[in-house]
Chain A
Amino acid sequence: MNANNHYPQNEDFRRELGGRYRTATIWQGLFLSALLIAIISLMALLYNVVDGAFGFVAFEYKNDPAEFTSTPLAELTQAELATILKDNLSSGAYKKLENETPMKNRSQAELYTLFLERLVQLDTKGTWSMTDSLMNGGKIRAEVAQKYPDANLEFRSWLTPQFLVTPMSSKAEFAGVRTAILGSLWLVGIAILFALPIGTGAAIYLQEYAPKNWATSIIQTNINNLAGVPSIVYGMLGLAIFVRVLEPFTSGSLFGVMDSNGRTILSAGMTMGVLVLPLIIINAQEAIKAVPDSLRQAAYGVGATRWQTVWHHVLPNALPGILTGGILALSRTLGETAPLIVVGASTFISLDPQGPFSKFTALPIQIYQWTTRAQSEFHAIAAGAIIVLLVLLLTLNATAIILRNRFQRKY
């Protein structure tokens, strides 16, 4: 019997082919809409953040700036501001400021902030989002004029250069993220230094040395599962181990640092390190697995030992993949909040971290803390801090990717 009889011919075939194409088009459309939904969600998120970080702000001066100087505010010089502060602050308060950083070493912007904060005592009455400010400018003006006759209305960006270099303050207008940025950088540094070597070592052992038996497969399963454990659990672990049990080490008292407890950057960094360890191990294992066996055989074939094979061939070829794991870990560390709260990040701290044994805060903690405040101006600076966090994340990732590509062999 002719097999052709069982296949549709000519007209029938073309009709069926049309059906096949229609199905394909439907699926293609579904995939495209999935992509569009993802893009729209991302855009909405970005819009939401940017929307909060710019907009109208209404503020009053408790004390009229004219009481302190006849010069228009915008034209005040660094020296003039220093004199005004010296003349009007109590001598105790002035001395304290002078001790922190001498006045002559402070920038004009810094002194201007001090002037507004301490003498004029700026008071924010309300803030509006960017969209609101642009669309309903007139309405907002009328409302402010009616409710706060003395208030000034100004369109401002909450994200300013000053915002980046100023430490925490109890007033949103004068607060910055300097301490939080430094804290986050310290955390990422410690976590990566801790987890990358240990994770790579573990991956090498599991891939190249460990015998294939039930013990290895139990360990492997556990590592895979650990990658999915909620981060707060790692926070509890960090609290129990690094903050409590290893306190002499993590507080620095072993090294003669006396004025701190275990809630230090070091504890938090190592907690983050443990948190990203499974991620790094799994990535490194995949990278090592991807090194072709023919390369190992080539090395063994000329009389290399296992270690020489691993060190000279497997590791260099797996390095880009291992570093990719490091990049993922870096992003994770920068964004995690829950474990930091448990390990004991400070929510209000205005001193830069001095070393691994300092108290600390981090960007996500700062953002979280600001969003929980009632005053709308804190929500505005939280939006600003989110932009800072995103930019920092992109910068660190880009740097890491450039570094990784340098390691990538050109062969």
Chain B
Amino acid sequence: MQNIQTPEYAIETKNLFIFYGSFPAVSEVNVKIEKQKITAIIGPSGCGKSTLLRAFNRMNDFVPTSYVTGEVLLQGQNLYGKNIDPVEVRRKIGMVFQKPNPFPKSIYENISWGAKINGYKGNMDELVEQSLRSAALWDEVKDKLHESAYALSGGQQQRLCIARTIAIQPEIILMDEPASALDPISTLRIEELMQELKKNYTIIIVTHNMQQAARASDYTAMMMIDDKRSGGVIEFDETKKIFTRPKDKRTEDYVTGRFG
């Protein structure tokens, strides 16, 4: 993927539809995600938030009947273009999942594996330390790097998953409700971490937690299903505006808790 232009956006969708079989689960999405900002995707259950997020790194490819129309542009290049390998897409756009899913290996190997398979040639110890430091986990695990990742708490596991993603040095990090399985203190740590990470990365986060979106994000995309049960982005703006002066009545109802 070479640079065609110098884009001001990290990722941009043009008339994006995501189908499961013949059903458009997500319709007509046109969003421009700012670089080095945190963009939250909010909306009621089943409105296609996760589907949209997964379209950004082609994780939906694993759903047998799914396909997309329209474009997802990363630096001007369509991720669904003919010559694009989804493995390369996922290498550039990392993902953190809803439930912490470390590999059943040691903490060290959790980080080094992604680097190894992607042909990392530098000093592995350094990379592991640096990634764990970036994920604010180093001090807690530096003495047990070779112990099982499963011995960590849920919050630590999720930060390990973030460290694992950082280690392959992606351009964008996708987070699919990364704190929904965690307690409030661990959640707060993840949010603080996100603020730290946005200095270097663009972050897109799906969340059910309205306060989290309001607290932690710079931009917010509000999604809702239409009368044909197909999801779409009904409003996309700075988070401040979405939560204080939404343009759409449905957004206002949702963020004020009157709906959804």
Interface residues of A (CB under 8 A from B): 211-212, 292, 294-305, 308, 312-313, 317, 409-411
Contacts and interface: CB of A to CB of B under 8 A. Distances in A.
Interface string B95-128: 1110101111100000001100110000000000
Given A302-B117, A303-B90, A297 B59 contact: yes
Contact of B165 (A295, A302, A410): A302
A300 B90 contact: yes
B81 interface: no
A302 B87 contact: no
B117 A297 contact: no
Contacts of B113: 302, 312
Contacts of B87: 303-305
Given A303-B88, A305-B117, 14 more contacts: A212-B64, A295-B101, A295-B104, A296-B62, A298-B102, A299-B103, A300-B62, A301-B57, A301-B165, A302-B113, A304-B117, A312-B113, A411-B149, A411-B150
A303 B168 contact: yes
B60 to A, nearest CB: 11
A300 B117 contact: no
Contacts of A302: 90-91, 94, 113-114, 117-118, 164-165, 167-168
Nearest to A296: B62
A313 to B, nearest CB: 7
Contacts of B59: 297, 300-301
B53 to A, nearest CB: 12
A307 to B, nearest CB: 10
B234 to A, nearest CB: 28
Given A294-B99, A301-B97, A317-B104, A410 B164 contact: no
Contacts of A294: 97, 99, 101
Nearest to A309: B117
B114 A295 contact: no
B161 interface: yes
B148 interface: yes
Interface residues of B, number: 30
Contacts of B94: 301-302
A316 B108 CA distance: 18
B161 A298 contact: yes
A303 B165 contact: no
Contacts of B102: 298
Contacts of A296: 62
Contact of B91 (A292, A303, A410): A303
Contacts of A295: 101, 103-104
B18 to A, nearest CB: 17
A303 B117 contact: yes
Contacts of B64: 211-212
Nearest to A301: B95
Nearest to A295: B101
Contacts of A317: 104
Contacts of B114: 302-304
Contact of A298 (B57, B101, B117, B168): B101
B97 A298 contact: yes
A404 B57 CA distance: 37
A302 B169 CA distance: 10
Interface string B12-33: 0000000000000000000000
B94 to A, nearest CB: 6
Contact of A308 (B95, B99, B117): B117
Pairs A-B, 9 closest by C-beta atoms: A302-B114, A303-B91, A411-B104, A294-B101, A301-B95, A298-B101, A411-B148, A303-B90, A411-B150
A305 B149 CA distance: 23
Nearest to A308: B117
Contacts of B118: 302-303
Contacts of A292: 101
